[in-house]
């Protein structure tokens, strides 16, 4: 049973449980996809039914963002903890390295996915990266076909929300992969283009604050966080 937070159902899992489930899905025939919604995405889903269907239709819905954890707690149905997209991706790559599973990196500006692939091959010796593609394409078909041709089992889809969730839902099957994971700006971090928040910020659940300070133009998007908390409190009172 998923834990509902404002219309999005979250799987109640630790990082290890989520990684084990990810490995199970990549070894299970057919297409599966995982999403990692934060409060901003929950708010998007409230306004966009197609986004909500794509998020709730995922095989794995992980709570990325401390706001979701607070929201679930306020609503009286606490989650075990946060599983950020980036930590989930890292846990999957640790388990894929040295196995027969291969990875495709999709998204971000031209050149970023290639740079991320270079770094990840160094960081995870034995990790098989079957291919990369930037995230600024016009037609979905040729991209899904490129993934299929690469033979990748797993795809990190980093197109931003809710584009990546919709993309996985619509094109997952055509990609031939077993598991697709929507990971927002992760390739920017893996490539070194964007610095991840220092560990103390991560531990305190303040990564959003670090992102805001280093990239103040995100302020508009981040206004969704207080709005999310207002909606949670309204729901609690209702
Ligand atoms: N992006 C993309 N294609 C698009 C729009 C965005 O590949 O059409 C990429 C963008 O370059 C960035 C990522 O998607 O690498 C979104 O990053 P953001 O930090 O907004 O995602 P978050 O992690 O906050 O969801």
pLDDT value for 195: 85
pLDDT at 101: 98
Ligand 1, atom 10, lies closest to the CA of: 108
Which residue has a Cα nearest atom 4 of ligand 1? 159
- What is the C-alpha to C-alpha distance for residues 60 and 183, in angstroms, rounded to an integer? 13
Residue 9: strand, helix, or coil: strand
How far is residue 216's CA from residue 209's CA, in Å, rounded to a whole number?
10
Q: Which residues are registered as beta bridge partners of 181?
A: 34, 156
Q: Is the dihedral of CA 207, 89, 115, 110 positive or negative?
A: negative
- For 165-187, give the secondary structure using H, E and C: HHHHHHHHHHHCCCEEEECCCHH
Whole-number pLDDT of residue 27: 98
- Measured in Å, residue 186 CA sits from the centre of ligand 1 at 8
Query: Would you state the pLDDT for residue 106?
Result: 98
User: What whole-number distance in Å separates Cα of residue 71 and Cα of residue 74?
Assistant: 5
Predicted confidence at residue 223, as pLDDT, reads 84
- Decide: 148 and 178 in contact? Cβ < 8 Å: no
Q: CA 201, CA 12: separation in Å to the nearest integer?
A: 23
Domain extents in the chain = 3-237
Burial class from Cβ neighbours inside 10 Å (0-12, 13-18, 19+) for residue 214 reads exposed
Which atom of ligand 1 lies at the shortest distance from residue 187's CA? 15
- Return the pLDDT at 183: 98
Superfamily classification of domain 3-237: AF0625-like (3.40.50.10700)
- Per-residue pLDDT tens, the chain, 238 aa: give them: 899 999 999 999 999 999 999 999 999 999 999 999 999 999 999 999 999 999 999 999 999 989 999 999 999 999 999 999 999 999 999 999 989 999 999 999 999 999 999 999 999 999 999 999 999 999 999 999 999 999 999 999 999 999 999 999 999 999 999 999 999 999 999 999 988 888 888 888 788 888 888 888 888 888 888 999 999 999 999 8
* Rounded distance from Cα 213 to ligand 1 centre (Å): 18
Within 6 Å (CB) of ligand 1, which residues are found? Answer: 107-109, 135-136, 158-161, 163, 184-185, 187-188
Whole-model pTM: value is 0.95
The CA distance from 138 to 115, in Å, is 22
Mutation test residue for ligand 1: of 38, 51, 184, the one with most atoms within 8 Å of CB: 184
Asked whether the beta carbons of 149 and 104 are under 8 A apart, the reply is no
Atom of ligand 1 nearest to the CA of 112: 15
């Amino acid at each position: 049973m998923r834990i509902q937070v404002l219309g999005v159902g979250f799987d109640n899992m630790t990082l290890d449980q989520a990684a084990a489930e990810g490995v199970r899905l990549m070894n299970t025939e057919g297409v599966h996809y995982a999403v990692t919604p934060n409060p901003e995405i929950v708010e998007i889903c409230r306004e966009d039914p197609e986004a909500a269907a794509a998020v709730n239709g995922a095989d794995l819905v992980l709570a990325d963002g401390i706001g979701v954890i607070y929201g679930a707690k306020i609503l009286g149905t606490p989650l075990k903890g946060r599983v950020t997209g980036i930590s989930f991706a890292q846990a999957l790559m640790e388990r894929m390295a040295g196995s027969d599973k291969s990875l495709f990196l999709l998204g971000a500006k031209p050149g970023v996915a290639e740079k991320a692939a270079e770094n990840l091959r160094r960081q995870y010796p034995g990790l098989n990266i079957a291919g990369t593609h930037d995230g600024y394409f016009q037609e979905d078909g040729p991209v899904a076909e490129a993934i299929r041709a690469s033979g990748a089992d797993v795809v990190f889809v980093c197109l931003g929300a809710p584009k990546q969730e919709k993309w996985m839902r619509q094109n997952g099957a055509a990609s031939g992969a077993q598991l697709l994971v929507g990971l927002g700006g992760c390739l920017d971090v893996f490539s070194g283009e964007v610095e991840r928040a220092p560990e103390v910020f991560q531990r305190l659940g303040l990564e959003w604050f670090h992102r805001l300070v280093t990239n103040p133009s995100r302020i508009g998007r981040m206004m969704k966080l207080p709005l999310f908390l207002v909606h949670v409190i309204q729901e609690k009172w209702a």
